Amino acid sequence: MPRPAVVLAPPFSRDLSRVAIRRVPHYQSDIAAVLFETLSELNPPVLGKTVLLKPNFVGADPLGMTNTHPAVVGAAREAFLRLGAATVLVGEGPAMDRDTQAVVESIELRAYLGPLAKLFVDLNTDDVERVILKTRASRLSELYLPKTVLGADFLVSMPKMKTHHWAGVTLSLKNMFGVVPGACYGWPKNVLHWAGIDHAILDINAAVRPDFAIVDGIVGMEGNGPIQGISKPCGVLVVGDDPVAVDATCARVMGLLPQKIKYLARAATLLGHLDEEKIRQIGETISSTRTPFAVLDAFKQLRADG
Amino acid sequence: MGSALLQEICLPFLLGAQNSDHGWGFHAGSVSRVEPTVWALTALRECSALPQQQDSATRALQYLAAAQSTDGSWPSSPEIADGSWVTSLACWALLGRDGYLTNVTRGLDWLTQDVPGEARFLRRIMHRFMKNNKLASQNDAYFGWSWTPGTASWVEPTAYAIILILNSPPELLPPKITRRLRLAETMLYDRMCPGGGWNCGNPMVYGVAGEPQTVPTAWALLALRHRRERPEVHKSLQWLVENSRAIRSPGSLALALIALRAYQFPHPGLAESLHALYDDKEILWNVPDVAWGALALSSTAKWLDRNPVGTAA
């Protein structure tokens, strides 16, 4: 059964969003326990459902700063299964390397998930279905998107906490670029860049809005992200039921002003909450976990400290 | 060992994955598309001696011909209206096959007219005044081919188009193609990573060197075989040799092997490594990967030299 249509609604008509910040000092921590406790509190409706985890996998990452760490993906899978999900798949369509097998081997995904053949979906080469874009923020009127994404009952965006040299930051909304299939649009998915990155982010998320987000901020990336930046230990997982609110919270933790991030400000008019008053904060506070990320000069206006 | 992998794993997998419309999807049971069909039929034609396998390949040519759009291009997926990079691959597969001359000619015409976004006049003027135009270091005066119409040139689609053009008989080539070919080759040199090898096409971003990857490096090297005296080719071959032992995926390893063989470079142990990767049943079993594996292990390489190098240059 296809996913229900995304509800595009202004902030005043939306319920409060819930976002949890959890301290996780390193990847050897018991991440599965932290996530299970957090998910139990947020109680996402996954009982008997097919859950699709959408991490951000780019390629070899010896410093652990580029990809969503596979330990976080494995822990999320375990936590959703413990909550009663019938199936938890992992799907990704790497943007810069067409050899998805090489990407998942380089990060040793199997060591955390076990055998991948029936568990991992290469979203770049999945069968596709036409989706008419409702928002038309970019020049695109339609996209062909993977059937696995369109058919999942519960979609979880699992990005790395990173700066981005075109968009400012890449978090759970920007991570959805990875559902656009390379086998239709190439490597990289350059059609999205030419359509306008900020606008394309809005269009994609209005078509397939994640139901939930888990951001790997244990070690992030600052500076010239999303690939060539510098490792930034931040020691948090940010988890929530509204991807806009999760991204806004991450931006605040990164010492950035979410309302100045163009795509996030626009997403807040239709897809979720940006305003702190509309976000019920759980766990650690933003101020206690704030870890300012360096940004390129082109994005210095995003910095909360001016 | 290589032969056993070819005969017992690669070819049976490809035959078993062919759809009833005679095409192949990216995975067994998925919808037929041009790209996996090109690679599966190329592998079957090159590697199989059995009539049944040759028949499968011949029927796949019909699938390709039927998938061509009215403007001469091929879409990357049957649901999509616009043409794409797979036009080069489809033409290459149909080249020299009886009955498909018109398909190839129309495809070549489309490719000649398909100019990437950065080469368009308005874009070049705009780019001069754009705030972020120093992000990447490449020279936009050199351009090749894009993945999809109106977007920028990238290494792989450019390499595919070069290989097609160099394999095409001169009488099939549109007049403007010689200039496009020269620009495309120069673009590949310009986009090479500083230490040799290629990634998708970003050698430097904000002054930081990009990391090469195996797949685009192999394709760029295959496209530049007629320029083996170029220092960029030497440097990139060296990068591939040094890095091929660390490859842990069948698709990349097969392409590395194909590229090294094309340059008659020694490749000790790589075929055995490829076999070992296929012993692992938990790989993702992607049709192009398996087809490249078959081509890498084939005792011949006729598919690479349909019309021996350089006649169009």
Q: What is the CATH number of the domain that holds B54?
A: 1.50.10.20
| pLDDT at residue number B134 | 55
| pLDDT at residue number B151 | 95
How many angstroms away from the CA of A285 is the closest CA of chain B?
A: 34
Question: How many structural domains are present in chain B?
Answer: 1
Task: Report the SS3 class of residue B209.
Answer: strand
Q: Do A183 and B26 touch (CB under 8 A)?
A: yes
**CB contacts, 8 Å: B84 with chain A:** 186
- B142 assigned to some structural domain: yes
Question: How many structural domains are present in chain A?
Answer: 1
Q: Is the pLDDT of residue A79 over 60?
A: yes
Q: Is the pLDDT of residue B205 over 70?
A: yes
Here the tokens at position A125 are 């080469």
| Interatomic CA distance for residues A206 and A131, integer angstroms | 11
- Please name the residue of chain B whose CA is at the shortest distance from the CA of residue A129: B79
User: What is the band of B128 on the pLDDT scale with cuts at 50, 70, 90?
Assistant: low
Helix and strand tally (H, E) in chain A? 11, 12
- B312 assigned to some structural domain: no
- Give the amino acid at A153: D
- DSSP for residue A305: T
Strands A120-122 and A87-92: parallel
Residue with tokens 């976000």: A279
B1-27 pLDDT per residue, tens: 568 889 999 999 999 999 999 999 999
Helix axes B101-113, B155-167, angle to 10 degrees: 140
As a whole number, mean pLDDT of residues A10-26 equals 94
**CB contacts, 8 Å: A104 with chain B:** 284
- B310 assigned to some structural domain: no
Cross-chain CB nearest to B206 (options A101, A106, A165): A165
Helix axes B214-223, B250-262, angle to 10 degrees: 30
- Give the amino acid at A243: P
Cross-chain CB nearest to A224 (options B146, B157, B208): B208
- A3 assigned to some structural domain: no
| Interatomic CA distance for residues A127 and B30, integer angstroms | 6
Q: Do B215 and A165 touch (CB under 8 A)?
A: no
- A2 assigned to some structural domain: no
Q: Is the pLDDT of residue B310 over 60?
A: no
As a whole number, mean pLDDT of residues B189-208 equals 91
**Closest among B116, B97, B141, B313 to B225, alpha carbons compared:** B313
As a whole number, mean pLDDT of residues A69-75 equals 98
Q: Is the pLDDT of residue B139 over 90?
A: no
**CB contacts, 8 Å: B147 with chain A:** 185-187, 190-191
Percentage above 90 pLDDT, chain B: 78
- A6 assigned to some structural domain: no
- Please name the residue of chain B whose CA is at the shortest distance from the CA of residue A228: B208
- B313 assigned to some structural domain: no
Q: Do B30 and A125 touch (CB under 8 A)?
A: yes
pTM for this entry: 0.95
- Domain around B263: 2-304
Q: Do B252 and A99 touch (CB under 8 A)?
A: yes
How many angstroms away from the CA of B187 is the closest CA of chain A?
A: 17
| Interatomic CA distance for residues B195 and B213, integer angstroms | 12
- B271 assigned to some structural domain: yes
- A210 assigned to some structural domain: yes
Strands A160-164 and A168-170: antiparallel
How many angstroms away from the CA of B282 is the closest CA of chain A?
A: 5
B39-71 pLDDT per residue, tens: 999 999 999 878 888 899 999 999 999 999 999
Q: Which residues of A touch B (CB under 8 A)?
A: 59-60, 96-102, 104-106, 110, 115-117, 120, 122, 125-130, 144, 165-166, 183-188, 190-191, 193-194, 224, 227-228, 296, 298
- A1 assigned to some structural domain: no
Spacing of C-alpha A55 from chain mean position: 7
Q: Which of A277-286, B250-259, B263-272 has the lowest mean pLDDT?
A: B263-272
Q: Is the pLDDT of residue B309 over 60?
A: no
Q: Do A125 and B200 touch (CB under 8 A)?
A: no
B258-293 pLDDT per residue, tens: 999 999 998 899 999 999 998 877 788 999 999 999
User: Using CB atoms and an 8 Å cut-off, which of residues 268-297 of chain B contact chain A?
Assistant: 281-286, 289
| pLDDT at residue number B136 | 60
Q: What is the CATH number of the domain that holds A217?
A: 3.40.50
B211-229 pLDDT per residue, tens: 999 999 999 999 999 999 9
**CB contacts, 8 Å: A128 with chain B:** 77, 79
Per the CB < 8 A criterion, the answer to whether B251 and B290 are in contact is: no
User: What is the band of A175 on the pLDDT scale with cuts at 50, 70, 90?
Assistant: very high
- Domain around A143: 11-302
